[in-house]
Amino acid sequence: MTCNLGVPGSIPGDGSRIRWRPILGRFPSGQRGQTVNLLAYAFEGSNPSLPITSSLSRRFFLFQPFGGTMNDQDSLPDFCFECTACSFCCSGAPGYVWLSREDLDRLLTYLELEQAAFIQNYCRWIKTGEGKALSLQEKKSGEATYDCIFLKHGKCSVYPARPLQCRTYPFWSEIVTTKKGWEEESHSCPGIGRGSSVPRKQIEDYLTARRNHRRLYYPL
């Protein structure tokens, strides 16, 4: 089997397979889903009542890490990935999916909605140390579990327009910069270790994209 390098993470709508931060995102990129024990503290100005993402969710922490780079000692053939459509990166413990201007515009175009209506129906403002940042809403799916607002019937309903945070999972710096991080994440993400190895250039491109990702803050 060969992994679809263009669409890591998330699940296609048609069901096919496919804190410390200086901005430094289902986990810190804040993102949705992750097993590595990372810092997820809310520092000065942040809301202490906000839930802190646990190892049960791959969504994002309050702050997002730097894009990072691959370590030379890591053997690229070990970085294999093929999405199994398990929805791990879209559900679990409470978390955040941070939106950039590009993320927001892409979703607005895909859903054919005005900005105000989209934010009212699908987003929330999260108080952080840098101001109120825009994140997707989530919906309660169990006693202590939540789903991304766009997860419907086990699939991403906006897959072609999903945010960068979702597009790049599991190729986040806190996961791929060391073999240990990659191996630990595989305990929660069944797609890790499947398919063919992902080229170093592809992973570096994901890390660069995440490093350049800028959250939207209130007011827009």
DSSP code of residue 108: H
Counting residues of the chain whose pLDDT is more than 70, the rounded percentage is 65
Please enumerate in sequence order all residues whose Cβ is within 8 A of that of 101, keeping only pairs 6 or more positions apart, or say none.
214, 216
d(CA 145, CA 203): 30
- The structural domains of the chain, with segments of one domain joined by +, span 32-211
Number of CB atoms found within 10 A of residue 55's CB: 17
Return the pLDDT at 178.
87
Question: Which of 9, 167, 154 is CA-nearest to residue 81?
Answer: 9
- Residue 71, pLDDT score: 56
Respond yes or no on whether the N-terminal peptide bond of residue 22 is cis (omega within 30° of 0).
no
Distance, in Å, from the CA atom of 61 to the CA atom of 134, rounded to the nearest integer, reads 13
Gyration radius of the chain over CA positions: 16
Q: Which two tokens stand for residue 177?
A: 């910069």
What pLDDT is recorded for position 179?
Answer: 86
Asked if residue 133 lies in contact with residue 126, where contact means CB atoms within 8 angstroms, the answer is yes
Pairing of strands 91-92, 123-128: unpaired
Collapsing DSSP to helix, strand or coil, 106 comes out as helix
Q: Among residues 165, 33, 28, which one has the least CA distance to residue 86? A: 33
Which pLDDT score is estimated for 76? Answer: 42
Looking at residue 31, its pLDDT comes to: 52
Burial class (CB in 10 A: 0-12, 13-18, 19+), 49: exposed
Q: Tell me which residues of the chain have a pLDDT lower than 70.
A: 1-77
Supply the mean pLDDT for the chain. 76
The residue with tokens 């202490």 is: 48
Return all residues near 98 (Cβ < 8 A) that are at least 6 apart: 25, 29, 30, 60, 64, 133, 134, 135, 163, 165, 213, 215
